[in-house]
Structure 1
Amino acid sequence: MNAQALIDGLIAGAMIGLGAIGVTLTYSILRFANFAHGEFIAWGAYFALALVSTLGVGMDPIGPFSFGWMLIVAAVLAALLTGGLAVLLDRLLFASFRSRGSATIIMVIASFGASMALRALLEFVFTSKPVYFTRELQIAVPLGGGMRATPDQLLMLAVTVVLVLGVHLLLTRSAIGRQMRAVSEDPTLARLAGVDVRRVIRWVWFLGGSLAASAGVMSGLLVQIRPYMGFDLLLPLFAAAILGGIGSVPGAVLGGLIVGLCESLAVELVGAEWRAAVGFVVLTLVLLLRPQGILGQAAR
């Protein structure tokens, strides 16, 4: 792998890792694979786009970046709105299944339906035409060793590091984080110990939706915004979550970086048309060779 492919893989992996955090938290606590999670990425990007387009101020680029301060504000608000959308989806759909003790497969199928409904609604409101936060051109700056990156890409990597550290501190140093880990280990025992499981579930949905929105804004800024952007990332998200180990936030990020690097390598060696297959190949190999993932624990 050449040096430039390495930096491209890290940038792609950072976005995948952020989205995979929500996947791994949802699966470890709610015990089902939420296929609607990819749509939160797209909704986050479109929420930010709508806010920027509606307010129409603060659009002048900041320093070397391609965007103005309004996009920063819109990204924060979009994360909050997407987190709220995730909580709303759980309340309207998945909460009723949990209360009836529905089988896991029912939840998975429901998440498929929710995914298609959310994507169709995006296409209805915003159309399927690709759009952009900004059309400002940026020149990649040399980083040494043959690597180059734009200021926007470097900022996205820095933001990813900050968000991952913030989530790690939330899970390890806060009361709600400890409650999340308790529910992940044993929901029944956590409830008996006085943990408000419903509150924990709301926090999990909100946190996962907010991080997915952050990944969506990054992807929209570096590439483009379209209704299928989250769906296209869904397989890499699950591959990263399983590769890192279900329930492990550092593992999800590590898995995302590995998947991103593998995609970059595939583009370099066999062509961009095979990029989408990388997530499937990684997922298959992990399930065959190490089902618990890199940082996960084997089932007892």
Structure 2
Amino acid sequence: MFTQLLVNGLVTGSVYAIAAVGVSLVYGILRLVNFAYGDMMTFGAFAGYFANATLGLPMLVSAAFAMIAAALLSVALDVVLWRPLRLRRAGFMGLFLASIGVALVLRQAILLVWGPQPRAFEINQFKVYVLGDVRLSLAQAATIVSATIAILAIGLFLSRSSTGRVMRAMSDDRALAQLSGIDVNRVIVVTWVISGVTAGLAGVLAGLVQSTFDPNFGFQLLLPVFAAVVLGGIGSAYGALAGGLVLGVATELSTWEGFAGGVDPVYKPVVAFVVLIIALMLRPQGLFGKARTV
């Protein structure tokens, strides 16, 4: 039972981790709390559904299609909305309110195109892999493999590539990075591309794990994703990965009977925020965040 819950936690945490990276990178470089990210995940899931169920493409190709579609939408929003707002110096609150507006528009557009009924990817929902005491559905196995590859790729990109190092430098001190001759606009575009790709992938994986999804499911995932970002350290991509995995594992293991009978699964979201509160009391800057003085 414990091992099964641990694996379930890794599945859930992987989705949180991938999504949290996209949120954290945007905040670290642009100081934008992207409230529309949950609906970007929804868009990715429905784009993948269109490729899988309507066009009849394999699930792997459909996931790639979703990632590309979400990345294109992310860059288009930057050109049409975020860049003009930055040039007009909209400020933190202006950008935040604009992101709420984008979230509402996206949600209603998805509702208008696909309707309110739940959708499901065309995969075998009943195929199960048995590994010792652990049972994994096809969707869970695909999520773990995909998330592992994605997390390793993101980590290598940020640590080994010149663009990744520049992005981390901008996240630490954007003004200094700009004075050093860094092409800020190019880095911002790359950031939006990565944010869109992670949103598309996280949306597809979340849709697979939940079996069905509707136009509101991304918004329901937004708070745990934000909690993972804060837990890991706001603006830290590595922290976002760690925070997502910690929250996912903690919420699933909280239902284990060995912990004083376990928590009712209904209260798993509450457990996530209890973990967040306790962690921030011990380390206010988050797991990978930097302490700041005023």
Shift of 1:249: 2.5
Aligned ranges 1:105-144 → 2 under 5 Å:
105-134=93-122, 136-144=124-132
Does the 8 A contact of 1:266 with 1:274 survive in 2? no
- Tell me whether 1:299 sits opposite 2:292 in the alignment: yes
Structure 1: how far apart are the matches of 2:115 and 2:225?
Answer: 25
Show structure 1 runs of 5+ residues with no match.
Answer: 59-69
Distance 1:112 1:284, change over 3 A: farther
Structure 1: how far apart are the matches of 2:168 and 2:78?
Answer: 20
Distance 1:232 1:135, change over 3 A: same
Shift of 1:246: 2.4
Aligned partner letter, 2:291: A
Structure 1: how far apart are the matches of 2:16 and 2:28?
Answer: 18
Does the 8 A contact of 2:125 with 2:139 survive in 1? no
Aligned ranges 1:94-109 → 2 under 5 Å:
94-109=82-97
- Tell me whether 1:29 sits opposite 2:29 in the alignment: yes
Match of 2:239 in 1: 251
Shift of 1:267: 4.5
Q: 3-state DSSP class of the match of 2:290? A: coil
Size of the aligned set, in residue pairs, is 287
Shift of 1:16: 0.7
Structure 1: how far apart are the matches of 2:65 and 2:141?
Answer: 22
TM-score (norm 2): 0.91
Match of 2:44 in 1: 44
Does the 8 A contact of 2:158 with 2:165 survive in 1? yes
- Tell me whether 1:216 sits opposite 2:172 in the alignment: no
Q: 3-state DSSP class of the match of 2:83? A: helix
Identity among equivalent positions (%) equals 39
Match of 2:192 in 1: 205
- Tell me whether 1:173 sits opposite 2:160 in the alignment: yes
Does the 8 A contact of 1:242 with 1:291 survive in 2? no
Distance 1:202 1:296, change over 3 A: same
Does the 8 A contact of 1:235 with 1:279 survive in 2? no
Match of 1:289 in 2: 282
Does the 8 A contact of 2:118 with 2:213 survive in 1? yes
Shift of 1:273: 2.2
Q: 3-state DSSP class of the match of 2:61? A: helix
Shift of 1:234: 0.6
Match of 1:195 in 2: 182
Q: 3-state DSSP class of the match of 1:293? A: coil
Aligned partner letter, 1:47: A
Shift of 1:285: 3.4
Match of 1:152 in 2: 139
Q: CA RMSD in A?
A: 1.8
Shift of 1:152: 3.1
TM-score (norm 1): 0.89
Q: 3-state DSSP class of the match of 2:166? A: helix
Shift of 1:210: 0.5
Structure 1: how far apart are the matches of 2:106 and 2:271?
Answer: 26
Does the 8 A contact of 2:43 with 2:110 survive in 1? yes
Aligned partner letter, 2:208: L
Does the 8 A contact of 2:31 with 2:92 survive in 1? yes
Q: 3-state DSSP class of the match of 1:226? A: coil
Q: 3-state DSSP class of the match of 2:213? A: coil
